Amino acid sequence: MREYLKFYIDGRWVDPVEPKTADVINPATEEAAGRISLGSVADVDKAVAAARKAFASWSQTTREQRLDLLGAIQAEYAKRQTEIGDAIMEEMGAPSSLAHGFHVGLGAGHLQTAIEVLKDFRFDEQHGATVIAKEPIGVCALITPWNWPMNQTCVKIFPALATGNTMILKPPQLAPFSAQILAEILHAAGVPAGVFNMIQGSGSVIGAALSTHEDVDMVSFTGSEPVGVQIQKDAATTVKRVGLELGGKSPFIVLDDDQLATNVAGATAGMMGNSGQTCSAGSRLLVPASRMDEAIAAARAAAEGVTVGDPKGNVAMGPVVSKSQFNIIQDYIRKGLEEGATVVAGGPGRPEGLDKGWFVKPTVFVGTNDMVIAREEIFGPVLVIIGYDDVDHAVEIANDTEFGLAGYVNGSDLEKCRAVARRMRTGWISINGGFDFHAPFGGYKRSGNGREWGEHGFLEYLETKSLLGYAPAQAAE
């Protein structure tokens, strides 16, 4: 059983000001896997003071110094990838192949991307006699979710470090183990005291204290829309910058061609990955109404082919993260049935043979876009198939949502895919499985504001300063 009872503040592991602990539950066993300390406002004050003090020197470091540090972190991260994967498997139930594969790989990918971007990033640009300088914003509060622990944590920490900021990380209370290992990695790599700090605890206490703190210059939050709205309200009192990556109800448009069955099967299996606990998941599958029977057959076969069970085994899907999340998903499945949606695969309850652990059946409905299961983010392995009449109708359905985080278009005619993607009102669109660590990620509408990943992720942590008359001699030449 893991015990992580200290916080990382000012380069040291320290006891909390007010001792208080909580168990971390393994969702596959429903048993305690470890204990963490829960921080207080006093811990936040200590961490913010350390970050503020360190900012004076860290903000003045050179590109080369920051690259050297990121390289040292990369070397330490490589040593501990197996431990990180084990922690993710235990804390949030990701299957071993996924935890040790894509989960760990996303963290490594964001670190490598930060190194690549930093090498050539233009912090100064000259326009005539004026120099426009991009400078670190200051002390950043990074508040991360439990569903992709390394992805969401690393996509914030490494751009913030690379651009000269200091920070306080508040990891998710439900999945805190991997963040603890990451903090150990940063310490071993030689991150200067106060540049990176970490406090475990509840969002209502630590998140609120960071959001309202007068010495925090920016809050970057990934999570649910209601919490994001509250953070924005809390931060308004000190007029700090807020970056939000919130929920989604992303459309997956499958075009009418000879690849339809293959694309439907791929979209269905993809939706079930990470137990459907992905903000960008293609949870609304849009298919030609004239070929609905074919689409249903492909989706049913794909869903029924998803193996569910102990994350330590050779399975495609583990449990959802908690009892609360399990109950929410079950409520949505029941709501779908009440609304008259047709069950294609799965349904209420646990999969057969799994009587313990928060396991959900990979579930596929056929419904309409006005149903609750097509309007609200379920955050579980629940897919809704919706028929469309033609491409214009598909785009109309895709855009008929309060969210706009991600979208997907699959089809054999690339030009048609491109045309459809251009018309979708969403921030990140994958065409035929496209993926790029340098592509900005973020949402339209209620899916948030700002962008992460790549160069655009750097810009989130920078202020812009205009220096007029800085270079008159060059302007005159």
Structure tokens that stand for 420 in this block: 């459809």
Q: For position 477, what pLDDT does the model report?
A: 43
Say if residue 206 is in the same domain as residue 290: no
Residue 437 lies in a domain: no
Q: How many CB atoms lie within 10 A of CB 290?
A: 12
Say if residue 199 is in the same domain as residue 324: no
- Count of domains for the chain: 2
Give 177-206 as a DSSP string: HHHHHHHHHHHHHTPPTTTEEE--S-IIII
Structure confidence by residue, pLDDT tens digits, 81-135: 999 999 999 999 999 999 999 999 999 999 999 999 999 999 999 999 999 999 9
Say if residue 173 is in the same domain as residue 273: no
Q: For position 84, what pLDDT does the model report?
A: 98
pTM of the model: 0.96
Could you give the count of Cα atoms lying within 13 Å of 162 in the half-sphere of its Cβ? 32
Whole-number CA gyration radius for the chain: 23
Q: Note the maximum CA span of the chain.
A: 79
Say if residue 53 is in the same domain as residue 130: yes
Does residue 430 sit in helix, strand or coil? strand
Say if residue 289 is in the same domain as residue 393: yes
Q: For position 472, what pLDDT does the model report?
A: 80
Give 452's strand partners. Answer: 441
Say if residue 7 is in the same domain as residue 117: yes
Residue 282 lies in a domain: yes
Domain housing 207: 2-246+443-467
Q: What whole-number distance in Å separates Cα of residue 254 and Cα of residue 268?
A: 11
Which one, of 65, 54, 155, lies nearest residue 103 by Cα? 155
Which strand (E) or helix (H) includes residue 394? helix 391-399
Residue 475 lies in a domain: no
Say if residue 182 is in the same domain as residue 321: no
Catalytic residue (one of 245, 377, 452, 455) = 245
Say if residue 358 is in the same domain as residue 424: yes
CATH number at residue 406: 3.40.309.10
Residue 477 lies in a domain: no
Structure tokens that stand for 137 in this block: 């914003």
Does residue 109 contact residue 223 with C-beta atoms inside 8 Å? no
Residue 436 lies in a domain: no
Say if residue 229 is in the same domain as residue 376: no
Low-confidence ranges of the chain (pLDDT < 70): 473-477
Q: What whole-number distance in Å separates Cα of residue 455 and Cα of residue 458?
A: 5
Could you give the count of Cα atoms lying within 13 Å of 408 in the half-sphere of its Cβ? 26
Does residue 413 sit in helix, strand or coil? coil
Give 308's strand partners. Answer: 317
Please state the three-class secondary structure of 133-174 as a single string.
EEEECCEEEEECCCCCHHHHHHHHHHHHHHCCCEEEEECCCC
Does residue 242 sit in helix, strand or coil? strand
Q: For position 134, what pLDDT does the model report?
A: 98
In the annotation, is 245 catalytic? Answer: yes
Does residue 453 contact residue 438 with C-beta atoms inside 8 Å? yes
Residue 19 lies in a domain: yes
Tokens 């699959």 -> residue: 410
Q: What whole-number distance in Å separates Cα of residue 355 and Cα of residue 203?
A: 31
Strands (E), 228-316: 241-245, 251-254, 284-288
Say if residue 217 is in the same domain as residue 277: no
What percentage of the chain has pLDDT greater than the value 70?
A: 99
Residue 203 lies in a domain: yes
Pairing of strands 428-431, 241-245: unpaired
Residue 413 lies in a domain: yes
Say if residue 140 is in the same domain as residue 34: yes
Q: For position 475, what pLDDT does the model report?
A: 46
Pairing of strands 139-143, 130-136: unpaired
Q: For position 476, what pLDDT does the model report?
A: 40
Say if residue 385 is in the same domain as residue 296: yes
Q: What whole-number distance in Å separates Cα of residue 193 and Cα of residue 172?
A: 23
